[in-house]
């Protein structure tokens, strides 16, 4: 009985997630160029394909949220989630510097969190396919959506600025960033030295208004942030420094609006040699 209630509740969560995802793709189509879609479907077809995925997501989401409940809706969600997972794995292997593009503006390269989120969506969709009643009849099974939603939040890099970054800033108030090292043992001062020698740093040096404000490791990358000023407003400059490529040209930078998370400036730097 409870298992059926849990299954019945899943379309509500999936529908809301897909609506959020579709909004980012339909409204912020410029994000398509940062994904692996140009490599997969071609430069000219990347933006239309990105928008089309958003439309499909919105249709499936509305079908899941609105009565009557048809099993085909859940199976469509299963197919969509499986497609997401396969695409992210493909993109991470073939275009490792590409962003997920899952919900819009994040420029971070695809990591295990994005793939984990797609797998979690797949698992919830498979569970939803076993439901025999609508989500409005889930009863106590809806309580399971709370930890599930929390898991989606923790796996969504796009939401880090709402919970993870405040926690990191709190840590910075307690201990200076240069006093520690990252999880793989590379001192922050070594990362800073690489930054100062990189074309990416020179491209935005005139915009920076602080020393290192924050840093964190995410798989094969270290991200370092500075306070900056761009077009008359306060912004954040985020550098991506790969752990396993020591060439200065491998460093990337994006200037991001602190409020919306939108990338305002992403200079093109020379490719690493060899």
106 has a pLDDT exceeding 90: no
Q: Which two tokens stand for residue 29?
A: 């189509």
Average pLDDT estimate for 28-50: 85
Q: Specify the higher pLDDT residue, 190 or 53.
A: 53
Give the N- to C-terminal CA distance of the chain in Å, as an integer. 60
Q: Do 153 and 184 belong together in one domain?
A: no
Average pLDDT estimate for 164-176: 66
Share of residues in the chain with pLDDT > 70 (%):
88
Q: What are phi and psi of 205, to 5 degrees?
A: -55, -40
State the residue range of the domain holding 14: 2-164
Asked, for residue 272, whether it belongs to a domain, the answer is no
Q: Are strands 221-230 and 214-218 parallel, antiparallel or unpaired?
A: antiparallel
Total Cβ atoms within 10 A of residue 248: 19
- Poorest-pLDDT segment among 6-10, 123-127, 164-168, 232-236: 164-168
Total Cβ atoms within 10 A of residue 196: 12
Where a domain ends, among 164, 191, 220? 164
How many structural domains is the chain composed of?
A: 2
Share of residues in the chain with pLDDT > 90 (%):
39
Rounded CA-CA distance 83/125 in Å is 12
Average pLDDT estimate for 42-70: 89
Q: Do 122 and 75 belong together in one domain?
A: yes
CB of 237 closer than 8 Å to CB of 252: no
- Total-model pTM: 0.68
Q: Do 183 and 95 belong together in one domain?
A: no
Q: Do 135 and 21 belong together in one domain?
A: yes
Q: Do 129 and 207 belong together in one domain?
A: no
Rounded CA-CA distance 19/58 in Å is 5
Asked, for residue 155, whether it belongs to a domain, the answer is yes
Asked, for residue 70, whether it belongs to a domain, the answer is yes
The tens digit of pLDDT for each residue in 111-139 reads 888 999 999 999 999 999 998 888 988 88
Average pLDDT estimate for 145-166: 87
Q: Do 97 and 6 belong together in one domain?
A: yes
Where a domain ends, among 164, 190, 224? 164
Q: Do 84 and 128 belong together in one domain?
A: yes
Q: Specify the higher pLDDT residue, 16 or 274.
A: 16
DSSP string, 117-149: HHHHHHHHHHHHTT--S-GGG-GGGGGGHHHHH
The tens digit of pLDDT for each residue in 207-252 reads 998 888 888 888 788 999 999 998 888 899 999 999 888 888 899 9
Residue 238 vs residues 65, 165, 229, 235, 267: alpha-carbon distances, Å: 37, 13, 13, 10, 12
Q: Specify the higher pLDDT residue, 165 or 83.
A: 83
Confidence of residue 178 (pLDDT cuts 50, 70, 90): very low
Asked, for residue 140, whether it belongs to a domain, the answer is yes
Total Cβ atoms within 10 A of residue 220: 14
Name the β-bridge partners of 227. Answer: 236
Q: Are strands 252-257 and 263-265 parallel, antiparallel or unpaired?
A: antiparallel
pLDDT at 273: 46
Q: Do 38 and 125 belong together in one domain?
A: yes
Rounded CA-CA distance 217/220 in Å is 8
The tens digit of pLDDT for each residue in 246-257 reads 888 899 999 988
Name the β-bridge partners of 242. Answer: 221
Q: Do 92 and 207 belong together in one domain?
A: no
Q: Do 113 and 80 belong together in one domain?
A: yes
Asked, for residue 153, whether it belongs to a domain, the answer is yes
Respond yes or no on whether the N-terminal peptide bond of residue 194 is cis (omega within 30° of 0).
no
Rounded CA-CA distance 109/201 in Å is 19
Total Cβ atoms within 10 A of residue 22: 22
Asked, for residue 149, whether it belongs to a domain, the answer is yes
Give the three-class secondary structure for 40.
helix
Rounded CA-CA distance 35/14 in Å is 23
181 has a pLDDT exceeding 50: no
pLDDT at 67: 79
Asked, for residue 274, whether it belongs to a domain, the answer is no
pLDDT at 158: 80
Total Cβ atoms within 10 A of residue 133: 15
Rounded CA-CA distance 81/185 in Å is 36
Confidence of residue 182 (pLDDT cuts 50, 70, 90): very low
pLDDT at 239: 93
Asked, for residue 71, whether it belongs to a domain, the answer is yes
Work out the mean pLDDT of the chain and round it to a whole number: 85
pLDDT at 180: 47
Q: Do 8 and 38 belong together in one domain?
A: yes
pLDDT at 33: 80
Confidence of residue 258 (pLDDT cuts 50, 70, 90): confident
Q: Do 44 and 69 belong together in one domain?
A: yes
């Amino acid at each position: 009985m409870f298992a059926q209630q849990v299954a019945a509740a899943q379309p509500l969560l999936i529908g809301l997630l897909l609506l959020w995802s579709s909004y980012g793709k339909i409204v912020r189509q410029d994000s398509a160029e940062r994904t692996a879609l140009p490599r997969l479907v071609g430069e000219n077809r990347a933006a239309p394909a990105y928008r089309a995925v958003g439309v499909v997501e919105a249709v499936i989401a509305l079908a899941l949220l609105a009565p009557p409940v048809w099993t085909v809706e859940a199976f469509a969600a299963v197919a969509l989630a499986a497609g997401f997972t396969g695409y992210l794995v493909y993109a991470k292997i073939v275009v490792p510097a590409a962003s997920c593009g899952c919900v819009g503006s994040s420029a971070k390269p695809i990591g295990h969190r994005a793939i984990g989120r797609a797998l979690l969506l797949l698992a919830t969709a498979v569970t939803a396919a076993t439901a025999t009643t609508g989500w409005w009849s889930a009863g106590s099974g809806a309580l399971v959506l709370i930890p599930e939603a929390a898991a989606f939040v923790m796996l969504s890099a796009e939401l880090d600025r709402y919970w993870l970054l405040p926690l990191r800033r709190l840590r910075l108030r307690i201990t200076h960033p240069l006093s520690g090292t990252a999880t793989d043992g590379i001192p922050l001062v070594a990362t800073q030295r690489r930054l100062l020698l990189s074309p990416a740093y020179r491209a935005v040096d005139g915009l920076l208004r602080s020393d290192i404000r924050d840093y964190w490791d995410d798989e094969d990358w270290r991200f370092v942030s500075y306070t900056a000023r761009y077009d008359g407003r306060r912004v954040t400059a985020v550098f991506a420094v790969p752990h396993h490529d020591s060439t200065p040209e491998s460093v990337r930078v994006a200037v991001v609006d602190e409020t919306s998370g939108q990338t305002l400036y992403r200079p093109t730097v020379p490719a690493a040699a060899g």
